[in-house]
């Protein structure tokens, strides 16, 4: 009976580990997607800033 309980605990621990690994993988994917989105946003802001600077330089001449 004790062996059965230990076997069940091992199964539960294995399932919990699998669920946690899956959740961690999903979190890593989400973080990567957010980082990529932030990089794209920053690149867009950089392009706009360069365009604004060029416009200001052209307007002063």
pLDDT of residue 29 exceeding 90 = yes
- Rounded Cα–Cα distance for residues 53 and 35 (Å): 27
Please give the angle made by the CA atoms of 26, 28 and 30, to the nearest 5 degrees: 70
pLDDT of amino acid 26 = 98
pLDDT of residue 12 exceeding 60 = yes
* Average pLDDT estimate for 35-42: 92
Note the pTM of the prediction, 2 decimals.
0.61
pLDDT of residue 21 exceeding 80 = yes
User: Token pair of 12, please?
Assistant: 């539960």
What's the chain's average pLDDT?
Answer: 90
DSSP string, the chain: -HHHHHHHHHHHHHHHHHHHHHHHHHHHHHHHHHHHHHHHHHHHHHHHHHHHHHHHHHHH-
């Amino acid at each position: 009976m004790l062996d059965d309980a230990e076997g069940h605990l091992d199964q539960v621990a294995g399932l919990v580990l699998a669920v946690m690994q899956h959740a961690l993988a999903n979190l890593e994917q989400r973080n990567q997607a957010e980082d990529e989105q932030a990089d794209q946003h920053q690149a867009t802001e950089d392009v706009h800033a360069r365009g604004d600077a060029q416009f200001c330089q052209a307007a002063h001449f």
